[in-house]
Amino acid sequence: MTDGKNVEHHLGVREFYLADRLGALVFFREQVRPYLVFGHYFVSDRRNTKMKKVVIVMGSDSDMPIAEKAVAVLKEFEVPFEVHVYSAHRTPMQAAELAENARKNGVGAIIGIAGMAAHLAGALAAKTTVPVIGIPCKSAGLGGLDALLSTVQMPSGIPVATVAIDGGANAALLAVQILAVGDDALAVKLDAKRAADAKKVLDKNAAAEVRFM
């Protein structure tokens, strides 16, 4: 197909016509969009593409409150997910198998949650090229600094995107942003959340200005 013409943009949804080789106009909308390859327009139809899921792995069920924060965000964005408890040390084979099969099982991002030695996210990242996000957990001994350093200090070639200590919400948001690279509708939801968050701050600012006039 050639001669792509963009005719409308609303809420991040593209609508356009493409003329096929016989000159007939074909209408596309929602997440269907043209892309240019060597001077010709092709169609990328993502309407029928199943959304990739996020897998959350806890090193211990004591990490459940952090996982719940992540789950709440994924539910907000209607992103499919799985939750597992696998220890990098006590169940290394199961953790490795999950990571090794992640891509073929439709996983777009993995969140590893662990405290103290916190090798889980790194162990998962070593077995897959699917993006891995690490959440270091706070502990009684060192306040989570041990887990933070264990998670963030990865060797070159095996990256782990590490968020703040106990940062379940941000880990899930980062996972959603990763998926949104290939999902326009999800990107629109992210933009809407950013706008809503900004409005909350501006509303508080307005209230403070009125109070101290």
Q: How many helices (H) and strands (E) does the chain have?
A: 6, 10
pTM listed for this prediction: 0.76
Strands 2-10 and 132-137, how do they pair? Answer: unpaired
Spell out, as residue ranges, where the chain has pLDDT lower than 50: 1-48
Residue 20 vs residues 2, 23, 25, 39, 85: alpha-carbon distances, Å: 6, 5, 7, 15, 51
Domains (ranges, CATH) in the chain?
A: 2-45 (no CATH), 53-180 (3.40.50.1970)
Single-letter code of the amino acid located at 44: S
